[in-house]
Amino acid sequence: MNLALFVSDLRFNQETLDRVTASNLGVFLVENGVYHAVLKEGGSPSAVLEKEGATVYVLNEDLETRGFSGDEVDDRAKVISMSDLVDLIMNDYEKLAWL
């Protein structure tokens, strides 16, 4: 299964993310979820970035709205535009879910 998983909050139940499995998993950081790609807590990056087998995407428009640029994003995440997001979910992912 190809699953697009949207994370829209900085605080959520990491255990839920840990249980998600898919043959092709895309984690889309949107809204306040973009903080996972730019902030470190206690010197450590977010566990979202370490999800095994997942491709992590960060919505550029939401980054800029919160005062960040693509240069501040962790290398494990790909910065994408809204147009890219639409193309990805229409072409690469069968199912969508929100955390």
68 φ, ψ (degrees, to nearest 5) = -110, 160
**How many other C-beta atoms can be found within 10 angstroms of the C-beta atom of residue 3?**
18
The total domain count for the chain is 1
pLDDT of residue 13 exceeding 90: no
| 45 within domain boundaries | yes
| 93 within domain boundaries | yes
pLDDT tens, position by position, 70-88: 999 999 999 999 999 999 9
| 16 within domain boundaries | no
Please tell me the predicted confidence (pLDDT) of residue 29. Answer: 96
Mean pLDDT score of the chain:
92
| 17 within domain boundaries | no
**Rounded to two decimals, what is the model's pTM?**
0.93
Cβ(92)–Cβ(26) below 8 Å: yes
Which domain range does residue 69 map to? 2-8+23-98
pLDDT tens, position by position, 44-57: 899 899 998 999 99
| 48 within domain boundaries | yes
- What CATH number did the domain enclosing 56 receive? 3.40.1260.10
| 36 within domain boundaries | yes
